[in-house]
Structure 1
């Protein structure tokens, strides 16, 4: 049996990219497990039973896609991701396509660009406004954003937005930030937060990556999207007072021209 036939994919947190990867695997007859995880619980241990109880005749090549490696890695494990230490890599969809030696369609290329570099990534591929709007709407839907959360995003923007020089700061009313980001784009610098988490998007993200390097090493903060991408903390990784301290630090750094 060749290596490709031994591949078994383990899918991570739900969004448009992960849905598209699943479609690609279905269309080409590859094996996978999908626990319909969310970003916050997308861990390799979610598939512990599938890995330890595997009874196939072959020796599988496990392929974990955007999974936190919170257990001993199985033998013959392949990790696919484009966050944190893998932020320099192509999108997970592109990595899967390369592994399977499958070309991506125009729509799949745009979906990959969206996940890797958001709207600017799609614009770099000459995406139309309609293509961008369609992909962003689909991405929010596959993330699980509800109509109520879309309305809460509008309310947060209307009533809980502060502009600090070149930084837009929004106190969100739910834990889904993408509806806020999409409505405010284009922006240079955007900080969205609740009492449980914060996310920064925009210019000089790489500067914050340097500042929060210790927290990144401890797994409390993650980043991606390149030098001007995004960085944020995992939900409930910090107390509400610590979140506020981070928010004030980012505001201070922006006001003094350090990011």
Structure 2
């Protein structure tokens, strides 16, 4: 039996996370799964996750705790594997978390897993650039949405919201009752029709387009508030999200978006 030197904590909240869990498990690594959605944080780990980790550490105090895409300060002297920017730390990395885990394990990714990695780094544009077929892109995106917990009702709401969207040239503003965890069916449908889009969701605002780094940096340097913010994607095209942005921040973001 393999003696584990690491304990991996992975929130299962999208396709990349599912495949990281599969890869680690098939490699004989110890994985503790959190059910937190996007924006998972160390301080919000579930009691059962904390209990399992502490039991494992009591059995072997010398193992290293590794959190995969968990924001905040690591617990148990652990470390992070990530490639996102969070409100309290910039963990940008040229490799996706899946690729970093594969490198750590010394594993070569299959074509499918390389596509999962590209999807997480740069979404549909990255998949196109990597040579994925239309069928492969459709499969990856559908599987990712399912892994995020998107339901048929969410898909229907995305269609309704897009039908009522406001267009400003090649930009579009979509208002929806969906939460920040359910916006992929909107983005997947708008892609190819708009150059950039702003989604006003039930609990967050999400920008997608080539100016994500500029917007995220500007908000971070300002005194305008949101409960939490995050950003990712490739330099050429990505996203920036803001949970419960203040009215003043909403106004500034909309002006930024419309005026270019």
> 2:255 aligned with 1:249, yes or no?
yes
Q: Residues 173 and 198 of structure 2 are in contact (CA less than 8 Å); yes or no, is this contact kept in structure 1?
A: yes
Aligned residues: 245
Aligned to 1:21: 20
Corresponding residue SS for 1:145? coil
Q: Residues 8 and 62 of structure 1 are in contact (CA less than 8 Å); yes or no, is this contact kept in structure 2?
A: yes
Q: Residues 12 and 33 of structure 2 are in contact (CA less than 8 Å); yes or no, is this contact kept in structure 1?
A: no
Which of 133, 155, 159 is the aligned partner of 1:128?
Answer: 133
* Aligned counterparts, 1:1-259, within 5 A: 5-40=4-39, 42-45=40-43, 46=45, 47-53=49-55, 54-70=57-73, 73-75=75-77, 77-84=78-85, 85-159=90-164, 161-175=165-179, 176-186=182-192, 187-214=194-221, 220-227=228-235, 228-234=237-243, 236=244, 238-239=245-246, 241-242=247-248, 244-254=250-260
Using the TM superposition, give the Cα deviation of residue 203 of structure 1 relative to its aligned residue in structure 2, in angstroms. Answer: 1.6
Deviation readout 1:47-105 (Å, 9 max, x if unpaired): 443444432135111110011225x6322x22011101222331110010011111100
Please identify which structure carries the higher strand content: 2
Deviation readout 1:22-41 (Å, 9 max, x if unpaired): 1101211110100222114x
Task: List gaps (5 residues or longer) in structure 1.
Answer: 255-259
1:218, 1:32 → 2: CA distance? 32
Give the direction of change, closer, same or farther, for the CA distance of 1:116–1:38 in structure 2 (3 Å limit).
Answer: same
Q: Residues 7 and 64 of structure 2 are in contact (CA less than 8 Å); yes or no, is this contact kept in structure 1?
A: yes
Structure 1 outlier segments of 4+, above 6 Å: 215-219
1:149, 1:214 → 2: CA distance? 34
Q: Residues 188 and 202 of structure 1 are in contact (CA less than 8 Å); yes or no, is this contact kept in structure 2?
A: yes
Q: Residues 88 and 226 of structure 1 are in contact (CA less than 8 Å); yes or no, is this contact kept in structure 2?
A: no
Task: List gaps (5 residues or longer) in structure 2.
Answer: none
Q: Residues 122 and 132 of structure 1 are in contact (CA less than 8 Å); yes or no, is this contact kept in structure 2?
A: yes
Please identify which structure carries the higher helix content: 1
